[in-house]
Structure 1
Amino acid sequence: MKPASSQILTINGGSSSIKFALFEAGEPLRRSLDGSIDRIGLSDATFTVKGSEKFSRALAVPNHTVAVNVLMDWLEKCSDRDALTAVGHRVVHGGPKYFEPQRITPEMVEELHGLSAFDPEHMPEEILLTEAFHHRFPELPQVACFDTAFHHDMPQVARLLPIPRRYEAQGVRRYGFHGLSYAFLIGELARVGGSEAAQGRVILAHLGNGASLAAVRHGKSMDTSMSFTPTAGVPMSTRSGDLDPGLVWYLARTEKMSAKEFNEMVNFKSGLLGVSETSSDMHDLLEHETQDARAAEAVALFCYQVKKWIGAFAAALGGLDTLVFAGGIGENAPKVRARICAGLGFLGIELEEKRNAANEGVISAAAGRVTVRVIHTDEELMIARTVCRVLGITIEKQPDHEKKNMSDSEDRS
């Protein structure tokens, strides 16, 4: 049993950022601070902390190695090192082998290096972060929380890609992502809506810089919009979402575009940014859509594609009981939610305008057959809970109703 002062550090490494949070063991787990090192590799990188200590300052961090050392130096100076009990890492891709959260070992790290080809935009940096913490704090346990885990048991028909079957043996299939967010959301849905709601026909829409949807029944993933990589599905801030595969050959012939250049385009130059030609930020686009037709078209395309996926997943589920919006756009953009839901009355989706404008927890009209909710997602808290479970870190006893509502979500994290 760990002491009540035990602290869990969560790490979420991206291609140009490191986001982190610190939790103190207890019931509930208490977030003492969170922060980020953003724009790694650029001249205007920043180090920001919010919580028990607050600051934001410019940094010179040319790469993730320098950035993680800045973070570890700061942790050693400004936190109780003896209280730091474990580190939990969000790992985007575990391939076909790794999906259960587990303690990181040298053998796992070696195999994850081999899986970097599955997600070259995220995996190398995420592995680097685990290695850096091991070298600085060799006795500190680290846990990998795989973002594909929630979707691991999707039906075979949803996992299978329609390409030559030999690639499936190499691990090429639909994996899905945002699993930590979805596991948290299902747990929260059980808490606020009851177990019957969480066990029903649910569509979860995690709409942020990265955006995806998941069809869930009996608390389990039935299908999801992202696929072998996080580039697939709906258009995102800079990712294209689904495209005609023939575009690869067309651009190779007409512009001599290489596979690497195509990957760069669809991940960092497409989506809202590519269509608007001005911004990848939904707030900016909404602000300028009345003056800029490109901005208006980017917003319209995003809403239209999300609407299509809702319709498709309602068909896959055989109907719909609950629709949940989460993520930066899903939680904070009433206009976007309204446009997505417009015309979906035939599915039983009807919004109440004032509730939606106020970002209330339930935004559906009383007459609507489908309950539409806005739920704040918390991947960092999900990671911290998972670390406690994997390492057997005991926290104070939960009230029975909270324990029941959280158990399904934590078991799938």
Structure 2
Amino acid sequence: MSTDLSLFGVVNAGSSSLKFAIYEAESCLLSGQVEGIGVRPGSKARDAAGQPIPAPDVTRQPPATPAEALLMLLPWLRDRLGGRTVSALGHRVVHGGPQHARPERVTPALLEQLTVFESLAPLHQPHNLAPIRAVLERMPQLPQVACFDTAFHRSMPEVAQAFALPYAMTERGLRRYGFHGLSYEYIAGRLPELAPDIAAGRVIVAHLGNGASLCALQGGRSVATTMGFSALEGLPMGTRCGELDPAVVLFLLERGMSPAEIQDLLYRRSGMLGLSGLSSDFRDLLASPEPRARFALEVFVYRVARSVGSLAAALGGLDGLVFTAGVGENAAPVRAAVCEACRWLGVELDSEANAVHGPRISRPGSRAAAYVLPTDENLMIARHTRALVAT
């Protein structure tokens, strides 16, 4: 058994799930995920062609955490790869803070620094870091790379990062960071090939999924985004509230709610779930006849369209609108409603193209073009990991 310098693993850990993939250069050899960790774990995997393959058995000794799941996966991956082992693991880490503007090799010191940001992304950061820590303890010789969702937005001008708070607080790190950066970085890199007419211009990318945000690109660089200090701000999401008057938090504290209860409310019981009272899943809401489901979707579309207008102002106009991620790539009714609300910006929807998910969904001659482009955060992580390990 020997390490294969051409193989790289990608890990994206959540609170009760762990997604994984193995890359050789630009090709994904296999991918999969372990779900229901800590409750009733199950696993699935696919080969390079996207076809299902026998997944690792996680029921005999059920992992209690994503970190345990990763350690269980590594022998299975070695067997599937015919004894070849990965040369490094790349991890999605949601929050890199102000100091980390690019992917970095994992060290104990880096892990300690990143732990500080767990309270800013409680749905993600602790679970991103736990598998890294487990591998570092069990296999310290295996290189690991942390790829930050905040890094792509470090190009934003200071005025886009600043809160109107005392400047000393800004210097201590109280600023807008932005998230979904790996997704936006991938889309920005694909625009010259897939949408050359807008690639160098003023583009707003809508990463719409269970987590949702928008990013304004000028010549492929982030200049503004809707998420801020945490992944809670901006658009309403599956269970997160999005933009909220801070006085609401003060009001809830005065009424006796604890910080932990408020955190649970804003991160896990709000958003589309809270608005609808039914589900956080857009597919459920689109299929539901319930008035509250329709209202939740209307709020979402309104907030997306309003934010598009705000980012268009930051850009000084709009050349293109790109939809990506689970809802953005698959929910034609949501895209249609957003485009209709953005007609004033020059977006003219081609309904037939939208129904088949594009890639171009605007009419010929539309002043602002609209596209549907799949994102690939895993490939972005694999690229960063390969590049950093090679140096």
**TM-score normalised by L of structure 1:** 0.88
Distance apart, 1:313 and its partner CA:
0.8
Moved over 6 A (4+): 2-5
SS state at 2:341 partner: coil
Matching residue of 2:20: 20
Amino acid in the other structure paired with 2:187: L
Residue 307 (structure 1) aligned with residue 308 (structure 2): no
Rounded to whole Å, the distance in 1 between the matches of 2:160 and 2:123 is 24
Structure with the larger RCO, 1 or 2 (CA within 8 Å, 6+ apart): 1
Aligned pairs for 1:54-133 (under 5 A) are 54-55=53-54, 59=59, 60-133=62-135
2:136 to 134, 137, 141: 134
Matching residue of 1:376: 374
Matching residue of 2:217: 216
Matching residue of 2:284: 284
2:180 to 156, 178, 181: 178
Matching residue of 1:410: none
Rounded to whole Å, the distance in 2 between the matches of 1:176 and 1:141 is 27
Please say if residues 14 and 66 of structure 2, whose CA atoms lie closer than 8 Å, have aligned partners that are also in contact.
no
Rounded to whole Å, the distance in 1 between the matches of 2:370 and 2:359 is 9
Moved more, 311-320 or 51-60: 51-60
In structure 2, relative to structure 1, the CA distance for the partners of 1:44 and 1:278 (3 Å cut) is: farther
Rounded to whole Å, the distance in 2 between the matches of 1:117 and 1:283 is 30
Amino acid in the other structure paired with 1:312: S
Amino acid in the other structure paired with 1:50: R
SS state at 1:34 partner: strand
Rounded to whole Å, the distance in 2 between the matches of 1:144 and 1:236 is 25
Please say if residues 6 and 83 of structure 1, whose CA atoms lie closer than 8 Å, have aligned partners that are also in contact.
no
Structure 2 residues without counterparts, runs of 5 or longer: none
Structure 1 residues without counterparts, runs of 5 or longer: 394-413
Distance apart, 1:238 and its partner CA:
0.6
Rounded to whole Å, the distance in 2 between the matches of 1:81 and 1:98 is 35
In structure 2, relative to structure 1, the CA distance for the partners of 1:198 and 1:266 (3 Å cut) is: same
Matching residue of 1:340: 338
Distance apart, 1:94 and its partner CA:
1.1
In structure 2, relative to structure 1, the CA distance for the partners of 1:39 and 1:164 (3 Å cut) is: farther
- Aligned residue pair count: 384
Matching residue of 2:272: 272
In structure 2, relative to structure 1, the CA distance for the partners of 1:81 and 1:167 (3 Å cut) is: farther
Rounded to whole Å, the distance in 1 between the matches of 2:5 and 2:385 is 15
Please say if residues 95 and 118 of structure 1, whose CA atoms lie closer than 8 Å, have aligned partners that are also in contact.
no
**TM-score normalised by L of structure 2:** 0.93
Distance apart, 1:74 and its partner CA:
2.5
Please say if residues 78 and 84 of structure 2, whose CA atoms lie closer than 8 Å, have aligned partners that are also in contact.
no
1:150 to 138, 152, 163: 152
Distance apart, 1:364 and its partner CA:
0.2
SS state at 2:366 partner: coil
Rounded to whole Å, the distance in 2 between the matches of 1:115 and 1:81 is 37
Please say if residues 4 and 86 of structure 2, whose CA atoms lie closer than 8 Å, have aligned partners that are also in contact.
no
Distance apart, 1:81 and its partner CA:
4.9
Identity of aligned residues (%): 42
Moved more, 133-142 or 216-225: 133-142
Distance apart, 1:264 and its partner CA:
0.8
Distance apart, 1:3 and its partner CA:
9.8
Rounded to whole Å, the distance in 1 between the matches of 2:122 and 2:368 is 39
